[in-house]
Structure 1
Amino acid sequence: MPAVRLADGDLNYLLEGPAGAPVLVLSNSLGTDLHMWDVQMPALTRHFQVLRYDTRGHGQSLVTQGPYSVEQLGRDVLALLDALDIAKAHFCGLSMGGLIGQWLALNAPERIARLVLCNTAAKIGAPEVWNPRIDTVLAGGAQAMRDLRDASISRWFTAGFAAAQPHQVEPIVGMLAQTSPEGYAANCAAVRDADFREQLADIQSPTLIVCGSLDPVTTVEHGRFMQQRIEGAQLLEFHAAHLSNVEAGVAFTQALLDFLNQ
């Protein structure tokens, strides 16, 4: 796959779709990679140049010493846009990717056209949740990542979907088992430390907030909190757990297209 050389390593990406079409950036969740968006690609690439990338510490991108910050991850996106000569793009991020989207909309608003924040929050979890996970992963290495994979199925997907669609679930949770423990822990710290609750009102990009009605990680209430503070923000709720783009599938993709093509 192509990569952009950053100051400290390579950022892996894929750019697909018709040249000259508007650019849509897709940003992965914690513990996945750019292939978490595979189900969306056939429809999206009919309308957009879709830029997917592996967040630092994930997939085939660089793994540097942590902890990371969401600012650092956001600056990686800006470096990617600069390297590809993309002045402005739509941005869609899920969970950790949604935190990156909030940072970009607040700190580089001229680069973000429309913003989609999926299964995310202005603040996700508390240190007492993240710190033990960081310690466990750093101590347990690859085995700890495999253990996390099994524990994450119930957070990422509803029980019914996981039972009925194992061919969709297994490749996604397999990404977690293959994620670098060091990279995962460094990104856990970035999520732990991010807090945009007092800044949301400064977001000016037209914004769509997507929630899963059965998401145990970033709840519908988290979505409503953001909607109430981002002027004009729309909110959609799907019958899904944390990875609504996979579980809601076609409906998620259509809602994304409807919003971005307004």
Structure 2
Amino acid sequence: MRIADLGDLKVHYRIDGNPDGRPVVFANSLGTDLRLWDQVLPLLPQGLKYIRYDKRGHGLTELTPAPYSMGTLVRDAERLMDHLAVKDALFVGLSIGGMIAQGLAVKRMDLVRAMVLSNTGARIGQPAMWDDRIAAVRAGGIEALADSIMERWFSAPFRKTDQFHAWRNMLVRQPAEGYMGCSAAISGTDFYTPTSGLRLPTLGIAGSDDGSTPPDLVRETVDLIPGSQFHLIRKAGHLPCVEQPEEYATVLTRFMQDVGHV
């Protein structure tokens, strides 16, 4: 178990693969921790340095009072990478992690040489929607929203599996304050203009059954960046790395090869 002391925040992270390899950094979705990538990592190329971390208020990373700003979450990723002396990484972000990826690429091009925007958008939802969710969590905890979240996260067949229940448990066991804090960060973010100025290799990944960030939103976002690629994973919702890890790993590996990261 590794903890990076960033002064005002202690961040839980994990490194797999070759500690001297080219870095790949993963950022998770709202309501999940770094275990989100457990099924994908063993299927990726050997010889790379795979870095995962729990964002502020999630997993084993320190909990701070809500609300958070996207700038704060981007700065957390930036400081972690500086702490680990990581540059020129391939940054893989899912949902809010994809927003962090966009913000980090705009701010620190020395840290990000290519990025994967998975199940995300330059803007996700509307402030009023997020205000309602935050109010519901404040009143009844994450459990109050869990069933509706699961419908957006996973396809109907996956929701009938035993594995599904573990992911529901992961969601409801995240700190409510961290969930509300990150929800506020998403609510206040509109990256359409800054993302349209990016010029770096980018892959968009969407799930056909994603009820949180539909394929059209992901495609619209990556289309802001000239030369970007897009891949649709069928029979998957908001977390295709969970429902279709083999296809996700294949697509990610191909992108790594295309950009010369392998």
Contact persistence 1:33–1:59 (CA under 8 A): yes
Q: Which residue of 2 aligns with 1:243?
A: 239
Q: Which residue of 2 aligns with 1:147?
A: 144
1:261 maps onto 2:254 in alignment: no
1:237 Cα deviation from its structure 2 partner: 0.3
Q: Find the aligned partners of 1:150 and 1:72 in 2 and give their Cα distance.
A: 29
1:254 shift after superposition: 0.9
**What is the aligned-residue identity percentage?**
36
Q: Which runs of 5+ in 2 are unaligned?
A: none
Q: What is the deviation of 1:43?
A: 2.0
Question: 1:22 and 2:19 equivalent?
Answer: no
Find the residue that maps to 2:93 and give its secondary structure.
strand
Cα shift at 1:44: 2.7
Q: Give the drift of 1:45.
A: 6.1
Aligned pairs for 1:75-86 within 5 A: 75-86=75-86
Q: One-letter code of the match for 1:258?
A: R
- Give the corresponding residue for 1:161: 158
Q: Size of the alignment, in residue pairs?
A: 257
Q: Distance in 1 between matches of 2:130 and 2:209?
A: 21
Tell me how far 1:145 sits from its aligned partner.
1.5
| Structure 1: runs of 5 or more not aligned | none
Describe the shift of the 1:45–1:9 C-alpha distance in structure 2 as closer, same or farther (beyond 3 A): farther
In structure 1, what is the Cα distance between the partners aligned to 2:165 and 2:47? 29
Match in the other structure for 1:6: 6
Name the counterpart of 2:187: 192
Superposed CA RMSD = 1.3
180-189 or 226-235, which deviates more: 226-235
User: Could you tell me whether the CA contact under 8 Å between 1:210 and 1:235 is conserved in 2?
Assistant: yes
Aligned residue number for residue 219 of structure 2: 224
Instruction: Give a deviation string over 1:37-65, Cα, whole Å, max 9, x none.
Output: 10012123624211000010100101111
- Aligned-residue offset at 1:83: 1.1
**TM-score where L is the length of structure 2:** 0.94
Matched residue SS, 2:64? coil
SS in 1 for 2:57: coil
Task: Give the structure with the larger helix fraction.
Answer: 1
**Distance apart, 1:109 and its partner CA:** 1.3
Distance 1:128 1:75 in 2: 26
Q: TM-score, normalised by structure 1?
A: 0.94
Contact kept, 8 Å, 2:117 with 2:222, in 1: the verdict is no
Give, in angstroms, the shift of residue 228 of structure 1. Answer: 2.3
| TM-superposition CA deviations, 1:163-201 (whole Å, max 9, x none) | 2x322x222221111111111101000011111112222
Distance 2:15 2:158 in 1: 30
Query: Helix, strand or coil for the counterpart of 2:142?
Result: helix
Q: What is the SS of the residue equivalent to 2:26?
A: strand
Residue pair 1:149, 1:174 contacting (<8 A) in 2 also: no
Letter in 1 for 2:254: D
Q: 1:259 is matched by which residue type in structure 2?
A: F
Equivalent residue runs for 1:61-100 within 5 Å: 61-100=61-100
Task: Work out whether 1:134 is the aligned partner of 2:134.
Answer: yes
- Tell me the distance in 2 between the aligned counterparts of 1:106 and 1:83: 19
Supply the AA of the counterpart residue of 1:21. G
| 1:49 counterpart = 2:49 | yes
Deviations 1:147-171 (A, max 9, x none): 32232221110001222x322x222
Q: What is the distance in 2 between the residues matched to 1:150 and 1:220?
A: 22
Which one-letter code corresponds to 1:86 in the other structure? Answer: V
Name the aligned partner's letter for residue 109 of structure 1. M
